[in-house]
Each structure stands twice: as C-alpha cells, then as structure tokens.
C-alpha cells in the first residue's frame, strides 16, 4: 500500500520542466501531380504541453488550388528521466493538421506557409511548390543513377563516383533492390576499363536514405567509389544496367467448393507469387580528362593536396653519434601516385637509407595516404648544423598549378665527439688526372725479377695455396646457410609470437578504452589487426582493400567462416569510423572483445591448415 501511494504521489513531486522548443513543419508525399488528382499536405506541430483553443490554420481556397478537406489528429507521449538524482518528466504533444487539395489549372503553384501563435510567439512552416501536368504522372518504381562529383578532371585527380538505386516509397510488388548490387559492381568496373582506376569507398557498405525525385519520395541505396583517371582524353561511360526482380501475385484457379473460396480468400488452390526479372539503366556519363601542364624539376606525378612535416630527435648530439630524422608526407590520393621525398645531402653529415611505412585511410572526402620516413643521420663535425627544408612538388587541381610542400629547417647542436678525427682532403695532381683519363694504366718498375722458376707447380707453396679457393667457397656457403637459417628462425619466432603480441596490445587498448577518442581507439585496433596478419601470414596487410585482404587470407587459411566474420568485423569498424554510427562505452568493450576472438579464430585456422 505504501509503494502504491508513492507512485501516485510521484507526479506531484516531479519538478516542472521549462517550456521546450516548439517544432512546426509541413511535408507532402509528392509535389508533381496531374489534373484531377489530389495532394495531401501534413503539418506537424510538436509542443511540451497542451495548447488550448488550437485551431486548424486556415488556407484560402482561392487561386490555383481548392482545399477539399481538413482534418486534425493529436497524440501524446511521456517519459521519466533521472538527472542528477532527480526525476524529470518529459512530455510531448504532437498535433497533425491534414490538408487535401486539388489543382484548378496546369503549371506551378505554391502552397502557402502555415502559421500558429503560441504564447505570443508565431511559428511558420516552409511553403511547398507543386507542379501540375495534363498527363498522369507515372514515375517508375525503380530508377538507377551514376553520378560523378566532377566531370572535368586532371590525370591522377580523384573524384567521388556514386552508384545510386532509388525505389519508389509507394511501389507495390518490388523486391529488395539491394540484392541486385552484386551484379552491377562488375559491370561498373568493366565500363570504366583500363583508362580509370576504381577504389570502393568503405568497402562494400551500401548506405540508405530517402530522397525526393521528380516530386515523389524514393528510398535510395548508394554505393560510392573513388575514381582516378589514368590517361587524358574524352570518354563516354555507357549506361549501366541494374537487374532486379519484381514480385507479383499471379492469378489463381478457383476451387470447386465455394466454402474453401470464402475461407481461404477465394484464391487457395493454385497460383502464388511470381518473380518477374526487370532491368533499369543509368544514363551515359561523359568524362573529360585533361593532361597535366609541363612539370617542374623534381615532380614525381603526385596530384591532389599535400602537406609535409619533419622533426629530429635529439636536437643536441655529439659528433659521430646518430640523430633520428622523421618526415611525414600526407596527401589525398593513392599510395602508388605519391613518389618518395628526398632529404638534402651535405658533406657535414652522413645520411642512411630510411625506413618507410605507408598508412592508407578513407573518409567522407575520399582516400588519403600518409608516408612516414625514419632516417638515421650522423653529424661529422662539432658546431651548429642546419638541415635544409625537405621539399615535395605536386599538382593542385583546384588551382590548376604546381605547388611545393615544404618542411621547416631543422637546427642541431653538435658537441665534441669521442675520438673523431678531422677529415683530410687530398687533391689529385695534373699527372694523376692525365693517367686516370687513359684507358689502360701500365705497372712500370725498374727492378728485374730474379729466380723465376719455369715450373711453379713444383714449388711447395703452390700446393699450400691450391686448396684455398675451395676453402673460401666452403666457408661462404656455410655463412650463407647460417644466415638463411637465422632469418627463418627469426621469421618463425615472429609468426609464433604474433597472437600473443596482438592480444597484449588489445588488452592495453581495452584497459585504456575510456581514455582516447573513439576514432583513435578504432584506428589503434585496426593497426593491431593488420600487424598480426602481416606477422602471422607473411604478407603486408596495410594499404590493401578489404577484398584483397580477404583473398590473401583465404590463400593462407581455408577457414572461410572465420575470414568472413573478420571481414564483417572490419566493415563494422568502418561503419563506426566513417558511417556515422555512435560508439558508446559498451560498444567499445564489445568491439575489443570481438577483435581478440577473431584473431584467436584465425590462429586456430592457421594451425589446422599447417597440420593438414
């Protein structure tokens, strides 16, 4: 009884909430109609409380249309939230005003904005523009579109290509058109041929939404690509067919007994649902690819927008000891379209071949690539050392001009090293320069050789030196065998420890799941999966598309189920990173646990394949 009294008194104890934001909008199912047809407009008003004496906003029937009927409908919803230990009640009152109109003449007319006044504040909807024709409006149930963000491109410039299929919201009998995308993908890649390079954006993820096309609402399904033209010229991409099945109920034979006709709807015996193949085509697509202007010296073919940064650590070092020089080049293009940078070389330091790492990422604006370089630099002399800026030339299609990405100069302080001798320089004499220029240089001596034996093979020294080439050959073969064996042992150890290293990294990510941003967490998790695949299966996983990665894994292991689950898991990560899905704390823990489970499954599949 006490609990019942508490629940009855709870609404009286709730604090009053302030007046919420009023929302008032108008929409219609279609804006293109024919003479003799009707159009329905729905105006929706959302408030946090009941509005007394709320009348239907009036619309004049004069002019190009007639208001046939109006209607009002109201609904309410209520919820209780606990905020800072206090119960807060939230109410929403939704009032919908319906207007049914009929046009009087052909042409275009505007349904005026509707207005209501609440607490002295007026609220208005947006006006709606209608088009009236003499002929009946017959919009197709399914339509296909192929659109390119830019029709005029430079060779090597990336552009967003969208393949879109629209299904009329009020279509009767059309099946789920998403099943037809698999057949259209091959036709798209064949249509662009060898003159273009296509990269699927967000792998095979199909986005869905709604869009008004020719005055009627459609459910739209899209698949996006990145297009890179390879050769200059004018190209026409032919229409791309899209095949789907339309479901229709076939006519059925009547039964003999009318009782069964009435009981089963009159269509029980025979007949059924019939799938009729249908095909729609996109429009042809014209693309103009322009050649690049004459390039400057040092241009490597990069097209897009680029940035370059460089740093050195430490900034103070003794002469003869190493400095780590790092450089990062970032641009919005494919890895193959970006050449390598060149660090200026000077006589006062020694520069070694760098380590390289390529990171490829996809976002809403397209493909981006980062090239990371790690150099080993050894100063030779004591004093102040300045590393000149690193420059990279590229073509910017937005300004149609060549630009240069440059890093800042780096200053180092070189102290006195240990046991560093001053480098001595010796110049060639004129006589030596003339001798170098000759093809043959003779060895001349004024001393005659004495005690020359006509039979050197009879000398004891000959028999001592004769087996030396065979000894050297044996030692070189032994050294090569030992080197190969060490490399194999190292690769084997790396392969055996791949899972343990990945699980330790995942445990560290899980421990810090609430600290970094969601995109940072997902990026680290993706890098851990790629590192494990590279170490375990012996091929570089970074920079590959999801289809290429799946093919390589299936060559290394026959566990198709685990590979398919890993593919769907990577697509799920892409959905959180780029598809707009929200990643809360529970989802973070779930994704980290799934990553560990998938890597363990891959490990078991690899061991089974090895035993087989």
- Indicate if the pLDDT at residue 280 is higher than 70: yes
**Does position 171 have pLDDT exceeding 70, yes or no?**
no
The answer to whether residue 449 scores a pLDDT higher than 80 is no
Higher pLDDT, 210 or 178: 210
pLDDT on residue 16: 40
pLDDT tens figures, 282-338: 888 888 888 888 988 888 888 888 999 999 888 888 888 888 889 999 988 888 888
Token pair listed for 574: 């892409």
Q: Distances in Å between the alpha carbon of 238 and those of 19, 226, 281, 287? A: 57, 18, 10, 11
What is residue 167's three-state secondary structure?
Answer: strand
pLDDT greater than 70 at residue 496: yes
Kindly tell me if the per-residue pLDDT of 576 is higher than 60.
Answer: yes
- Check: pTM over 0.85? Answer yes or no: no
Section 212-225 average pLDDT: 82
Mean pLDDT of the chain: 76
Q: Which residues pair with 233 in a beta bridge?
A: 289
Backbone angles phi, psi at 391, to 5 degrees: -120, 150
Q: Is the peptide bond before 390 cis (omega within 30 degrees of 0)?
A: no
Contact 53, 117 (CB under 8 A): no
For residues 264 and 606, which has the higher predicted lDDT (pLDDT)?
A: 606
> What pLDDT is recorded for position 263?
46
In which residue are the tokens 């003779």 written? 442
Q: With 80 as the cut, is the pLDDT of residue 238 above it?
A: yes
**DSSP output for 201-243:** TTTTPPEEEEEEETTEEEEEEEEEEEEEE-S-EEEEEPPPEEE
Structure tokens at 458: 């009879």
Phi and psi torsions of 459, nearest 5°: -80, 145
**Stretch 174-192: mean pLDDT:** 75
Q: Are the C-beta atoms of 612 and 576 separated by less than 8 Å?
A: no
Token pair recorded at residue 245: 């099945």
The residue-averaged pLDDT of 259-284 equals 60
Higher pLDDT, 559 or 121: 121
Question: How would residue 250 be classed by pLDDT, with cut points 50, 70 and 90?
Answer: low
pLDDT computed for residue 384 by the predictor: 87
Query: Residues 456-495: pLDDT tens digits?
Result: 667 777 777 778 888 888 888 888 887 777 766 666 777 7
Q: Which pLDDT score is estimated for 125?
A: 92
The CA distances from residue 161 to 97, 198, 201, 401, in Å, are 41, 9, 9, 24
> Is residue 271 scored above 60 in pLDDT?
no
Checking if the pLDDT of 264 tops 50, the result is no
């Amino acid at each position: 009884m006490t609990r019942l009294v508490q629940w009855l008194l709870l609404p009286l104890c709730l604090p009053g909430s302030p007046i919420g934001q009023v929302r008032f909008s108008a929409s219609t199912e279609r804006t293109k109609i024919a003479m003799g047809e009707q159009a329905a407009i729905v105006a929706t008003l959302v408030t946090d409380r009941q509005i007394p004496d709320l009348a239907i906003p009036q619309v004049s029937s004069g002019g190009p249309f007639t208001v046939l009927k109006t209607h009002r409908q109201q609904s309410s919803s209520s919820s209780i939230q606990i905020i800072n230990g206090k119960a807060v009640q939230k109410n929403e009152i939704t009032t919908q005003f319906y207007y049914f109109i009929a046009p009087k003449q052909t042409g275009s007319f505007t349904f005026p904005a509707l207005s209501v006044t609440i607490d002295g504040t007026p609220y208005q909807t947006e006006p709606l523009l209608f088009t009236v024709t003499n002929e009946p409006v017959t919009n197709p149930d399914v339509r296909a579109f192929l659109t390119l963000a830019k029709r005029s491109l430079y060779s090597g410039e990336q552009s967003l290509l969208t393949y879109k299929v629209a299904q009329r919201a009020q279509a009767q009998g059309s099946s789920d058109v998403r099943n037809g995308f698999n057949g259209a993908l091959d036709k798209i890649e064949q249509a662009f041929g060898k003159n273009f390079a296509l990269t699927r954006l967000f792998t095979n993820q199909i986005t869905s939404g709604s869009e008004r096309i020719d005055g009627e609402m459609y459910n739209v399904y899209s698949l996006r690509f990145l297009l890179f033209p390879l050769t200059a010229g004018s190209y026409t991409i032919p229409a791309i067919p899209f095949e789907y099945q339309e479901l229709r109920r076939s006519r059925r034979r009547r039964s003999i007994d009318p009782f069964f006709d009435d009981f089963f709807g009159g269509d029980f015996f025979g007949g059924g649902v019939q799938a009729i193949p249908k095909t729609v085509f996109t429009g042809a697509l014209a693309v103009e690819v322009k050649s690049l202007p004459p390039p400057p010296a040092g241009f490597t073919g990069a097209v897009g927008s680029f940035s370059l940064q460089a740093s050195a650590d430490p900034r103070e070092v003794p002469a003869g000891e190493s400095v780590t020089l790092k450089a990062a080049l970032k641009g919005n293009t494919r890895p193959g379209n970006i050449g390598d940078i060149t660090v200026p070389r000077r006589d006062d330091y020694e520069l070694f071949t760098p380590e390289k790492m390529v990171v490829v990422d996809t976002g809403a604006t397209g493909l981006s690539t980062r090239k990371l370089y790690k150099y080993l630099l050894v100063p030779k002399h004591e004093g102040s050392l300045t590393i000149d800026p690193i420059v990279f030339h590229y073509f910017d299609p937005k300004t149609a001009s060549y630009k240069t990405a440059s890093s800042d100069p780096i200053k180092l302080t070189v102290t006195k090293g240990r046991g560093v001798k001053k480098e001595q320089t010796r110049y060639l004499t004129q006589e030596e320069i003339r001798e170098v220029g000759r093809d043959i240089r003779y060895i001349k001596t004024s001393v005659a050789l004495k005690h020359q034996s006509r039979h050197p093979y009879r000398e004891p020294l000959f028999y001592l030196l004769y087996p030396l080439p065979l000894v050297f050959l044996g030692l070189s073969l032994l050294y090569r065998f030992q080197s190969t064996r060490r490399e194999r042992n190292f690769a084997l150890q790396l392969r055996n420890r791949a899972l343990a290293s990945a699980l330790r990294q995942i445990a560290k990510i899980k421990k810090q799941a609430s600290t970094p941003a969601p995109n940072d967490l997902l990026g680290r998790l993706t890098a851990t999966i790629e590192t494990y695949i590279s170490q375990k299966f012996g091929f570089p996983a970074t920079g590959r598309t999801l289809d290429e990665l799946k093919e390589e894994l299936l060559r290394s292991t026959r566990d198709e189920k685990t590979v398919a689950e890993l593919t769907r898991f990577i697509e799920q990560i892409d959905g959180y990173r780029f598809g707009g899905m929200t990643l809360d704390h529970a989802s973070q823990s779930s994704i980290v646990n799934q990553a560990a489970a998938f890597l363990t499954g891959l490990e078991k599949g690899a061991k089974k394949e090895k035993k087989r």
